[in-house]
């Protein structure tokens, strides 16, 4: 008996793959930036006002990048559901605003120039990967 089976892969699978790749790219780019800085001898010790010195290690970089990327994805998915055609525009605006706001704490901490440059680069590579890969194209 022969029959046809329906392809269980929905039309959203390419978007899911692209978005998962965006999350992985964001985390990978952030981790790579941290590693390059470490290879060049960056001292990732930072001191916030009235706080003890903290060393920014690779694991927190990965965890925070992953959390930020997943939050960006969730925000975009919610906007696509409720704001429909304006979702991408709103999301781009939010991504830009959050990126700019993420620099406020970086500007307030005491750290070496190398640490500030590397951490600042991490604050840029995560949204860059998300902006490049999360929104749907060709709508």
> Using one digit for the tens of pLDDT, what is the confidence trace for 43-58?
999 999 999 999 999 9
Half-sphere exposure of 56 (CA within 13 A, CB side): 31
What pTM was computed for the model? 0.86
pLDDT of residue 14: 87
CA neighbor of 96 nearest in space, from 72, 79, 63, 66: 72
Q: Provide, for the chain, the percentages of residues in helix, strand and coil under a 3-state DSSP scheme, each rounded to the nearest 5.
A: 70, 5, 25
Residue 55: beta bridge partners? 45
CA distance 47 to 51: 6
pLDDT of residue 2: 54
CB 58 within 8 A of CB 122: no
Tokens of 131: 């902006």
Mean pLDDT of the chain: 91
- Percent with pLDDT over 90 in the chain: 84
Three-state DSSP string of 4-40:
CCCCCCCCCHHHHHHHHHHHHHHHHHHHHHHHHHHHC
Phi, psi (5° rounding) for residue 113?
-60, -40
114: Cα separation from own chain's centroid: 21
Confidence of residue 28 (pLDDT cuts 50, 70, 90): very high
pLDDT reading at 6 higher than 80: no
> Using one digit for the tens of pLDDT, what is the confidence trace for 35-44?
999 999 999 9
pLDDT reading at 9 higher than 70: no
pLDDT of residue 4: 52
pLDDT reading at 64 higher than 70: yes
CB 70 within 8 A of CB 102: no
């Amino acid at each position: 008996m022969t029959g046809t089976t329906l392809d269980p892969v929905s039309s959203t699978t390419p978007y899911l793959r692209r978005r998962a790749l965006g999350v992985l790219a964001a985390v990978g780019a952030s981790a790579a930036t941290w590693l390059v800085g470490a290879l060049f001898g960056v001292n990732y010790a930072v001191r916030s006002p009235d706080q003890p010195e903290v060393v920014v290690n690779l694991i927190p970089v990965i965890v925070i990048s992953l959390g930020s990327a997943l939050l960006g994805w969730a925000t975009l998915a919610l906007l696509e559901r409720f704001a429909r055609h304006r979702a991408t525009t709103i999301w781009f605006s939010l991504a830009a605003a959050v990126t700019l706001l993420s620099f406020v704490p970086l500007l307030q901490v005491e750290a070496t120039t190398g640490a500030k440059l590397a951490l600042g680069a991490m604050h840029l590579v995560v949204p860059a990967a998300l902006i490049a890969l999360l929104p749907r194209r060709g709508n």
